[in-house]
Chains A and B, each alone.
Chain A
Amino acid sequence: MDYGIEVSGLTKRYDSLVAVKDLSFAVKRGEVLGLVGPNGAGKTTTLRAIAGIHPPSDGTIRICGFDLRNDPVDAKRHLAFMPDEPRLFDYLTVEEHLQFVGRLYQVTGVREKMDPLLNEFELTDKRKALPAELSRGMKQKLMIACGFIHEPDVLIFDEPLTGLDPLGIRRMKESIVRRSQAGASVILSSHLLHLVEELCDTVAVIRNGTRIAYDTIDNLKFALAKGRSDLSLEEAFLRITAEETPAT
């Protein structure tokens, strides 16, 4: 099986606090995995570890076959991380952000790729603008455009829809679907369960750093529905987190 992301036994400790404990899952190429859980469950910690932002205390992470610990640069070359808070360079314009990231990832034909991206994220008129001149939603869009410029094989989103307007949300969902259909492995964390239900193929539910459910959305709902066919992911999530179902 061809996996974009393979996480095995991921553990992250901060002194005595175990933020993530023995977490394992894998995301196939073209698959979208939703990472859900209550506040403080360890979702962002997991995503940051997969993005190579902080080293795990234990376990292995492989991005497109590259071990993140032993081969971090090659692994990172294949991924894009979109944090929940857009952290842009105050002194670079929209266009310069894309140029800069393009060079970091050795993207050929940045100029040609830039225009459709700016158009996709409605930033064409803002290409010469600095981040201070952009709204929160526009900054988020720029952050995501920077992530897409090198056409990564692995996309990691932490609350991707924060600050976007309805049209932006729609376009973002379409972008994610399009890229996963093109073969990218996508992992996204969100509290918007209808988004997860709409976009994701599989879901991993974590609580207190431990995986308490991991399956396709249909299987999860089926297992918890007990004969009901109208169970939403939201209801399934509430049941799982309330009952502390053992890992599946």
Chain B
Amino acid sequence: MIGTFVTVALLSFKNRILQRLRKLREPRYLIGAVAGAAYFWFFFFRRAQNSGVALARIRDLSFNTVIVDFASVIVLLMMITAWALPRDSGGLDFSEAEIAFLFPAPLRRRDLLLYKILRAQPQAFFSAVMLTIIGTRQGYFIGTWIAFSVMSVYFTMVSQGRARLRLFHIGFLPRLGVVALIIGGLYALVLKQVHTLGAITIPADYQQTVKAGVSSRAAIEAFFHKPVVAAILFIPKFFASAALPGTLSTLAISVLVVAALGVIFFFIAAALNVSFEEASIATSQRRAVRRERMHNQRIGSSVTFRRAPALFKLGETGPVEVAIIWKNLIALMRNSVTWVVILAATMALLLGLAMWTHEAAGYLMIGTGLLFLAGFFPLLGPNMFANDLRLDMPRLEVLKSYPISGERLVAAEIAAPLAVVSILEMMFASSASVLIAMAEQTNRWLRMVATPQFIVTVLLLTIPVCAIQLLIRNAVPVLFPGWAVRSKDEPRGFVMTGQRLVTLAGNILVLVVALLPAAIVFAPSLWLAYKFFSGNAAFVAVATMPAVAVLVAEFWFGVKALGAQFESLDVSNEMDVMAT
């Protein structure tokens, strides 16, 4: 039986890896993998290579017995508090396929437990390897692997133990009480030992600090070597020493002891003979729901406020675009209103703070902060409020059957988030302007900010900028649907990180290219306005209109092009990816 389980576990792991590698044949995954691998290489390995001194210190500290001692304490606490967890159904984490195939199979509970433990091993091994590479502790991953694996066996045993206690009518509260008593007792014992160490003084200068550090470490080591403390940490210390061994002999001994403990824990778990099948099915279902919820939250389609009302009543006839806007505003109210609340609360807090300080410096500081927020929001806002085509991509099949042209649909989809982003932008810009005006600064630029013209200019420019930004964001799912909408077997790890990085870089690049013509036009028109129309009502018009015209024209062409692309988009190639 063990041979079969090991084969299944290894084959599953191998197939999972092969499946991911096979996906790399598709350019979108390959590009993502390359970008992700490059990112991780620079972030971890390159940095690790360039900081040899720091690493040497880390390595030195890792080998330090003090670290092992503290790790032992953590292991001990985990081992004890595991008994105080509320869940006592004994349910174990099996996949739906495992439940379907293994539960009706002629297997003993002990076999199922063994399968669960063996199945987790390849993944645990892989994680231990990655952890040791990132932690630059090559060669000792075997200890980390064994320690993690046996801890998971221990937790399985404890979950079965809690279920068995429930059968004896010992529920959560009595267990909690006993655990609290044990921890309290241990704390009292430890406290008694601490008193024998004497007082630790805070040193005055660096030299003394070093000396004090050395002596403190010696004192801590002495404390951990006291017979009572050593006895308490006897078993946890093997786990810590396996993961953080000082020498090879320590590693060998710790691994052997921990593995033996693993066998004991397993047999105890099996001997408890808890009927975990039904609870495991419930656990599996809960996990599926949780995963679905997380997936939806990631793609912004998780409904947070189910009963949030529509912002306006939808008439029966009239422009069809209004229906799309109405729908997206409902989506915004139910999915993304948290952002609106956070932003509004932040602004209210800042304004309240400014009023409370009642000083020019306070007004200026908070006003400048809001000004920066107004500057960045056209970039952040369209990402926060993705209640547009990005949200509707899984329903592309239905959208395409509606009697509305691609061009009108794209424009309507963008309208709702644009309205929200523009309103928030107006709030930030006008509040900043008012606060800076209240600060009564003499600086020429600050005086310019503190005018109604500034607010109008910001709005005239940021609305089309936000519209273009939203257009770019919506272009991604239409042009690269496979990147924008993820399937259930979506790529993970550095492939996904890479895809996100490439998408972000592409977004920024396109935005820069889109804004360049407007910026070229804006600079001379601002100069002209400042030179000839300063203080005049025509100032805003002269300064902004040419740039706004360029941005609006770009947006218009963009909507037309994206609409045409939407109409010709062949959903058949993407439906499997988008299936929700």
Contacts and interface: CB of A to CB of B under 8 A. Distances in A.
Interface in A30-77: 45, 48, 51-55, 72-74, 76-77
Contacts of A103: 314-318, 320, 322-323, 326
Given A53-B571, A103-B323, A77 B395 contact: no
Interface residues of B, number: 40
A73 B572 CA distance: 21
A100 B323 contact: yes
Given A55-B570, A90-B303, A91-B303, A99 B402 contact: no
A121 B92 CA distance: 40
Contacts of B335: 91
B139 interface: no
Contacts of A72: 405, 567
B334 interface: yes
Interface string A194-216: 00000000000000000000000
A73 B306 contact: no
B322 A48 contact: no
Interface in B310-345: 310, 314-318, 320, 322-323, 326-327, 330-331, 334-335
Contacts of B403: 73-74, 76-77, 104-105
Interface in A151-207: none
B334 A91 contact: yes
B123 interface: no
A85 B335 CA distance: 23
A147 B567 CA distance: 21
Given A85-B579, A91-B334, A100 B326 contact: yes
Contacts of A26: none
Contact of A83 (B316, B397, B569, B580): B397
Given A85-B579, A104-B403, A90 B314 contact: no
Nearest to B313: A99
Contacts of A51: 400-401
A192 B404 CA distance: 33
Interface string B566-578: 0111111100000
Contacts of A48: 397, 571-572
A53 B397 CA distance: 6
B296 interface: yes
Given A104-B323, A108-B317, A96 B310 contact: yes
A51 B395 CA distance: 14
Interface residues of A, number: 39
A48 B317 CA distance: 27
A110 interface: yes
A104 B402 contact: yes
Interface string B388-426: 000010110110111111000000000000000000000
A87 B398 contact: yes
A44 to B, nearest CB: 8
Interface in B532-580: 567-573, 579-580
Nearest to A106: B317
B433 interface: no
Interface centre among B314, B331, B401, B568 (most CB of A within 10 A): B401
Given A52-B400, A105-B403, A89 B572 contact: no
Contacts of A81: 397-398, 401
B548 to A, nearest CB: 31
A109 interface: yes
Nearest to B402: A104
B576 to A, nearest CB: 11
A99 B330 contact: no
Nearest to B394: A87
Interface of B: 296, 301-303, 306, 310, 314-318, 320, 322-323, 326-327, 330-331, 334-335, 392, 394-395, 397-398, 400-405, 567-573, 579-580
Interface of A: 14, 19, 45, 48, 51-55, 72-74, 76-77, 79-81, 83, 85, 87-92, 96, 99-100, 102-110, 130, 132
5 contacts: A45-B572, A73-B403, A87-B580, A91-B330, A100-B314
Q: Which 3 A-B pairs have the closest CB atoms?
A: A103-B323, A76-B403, A77-B403
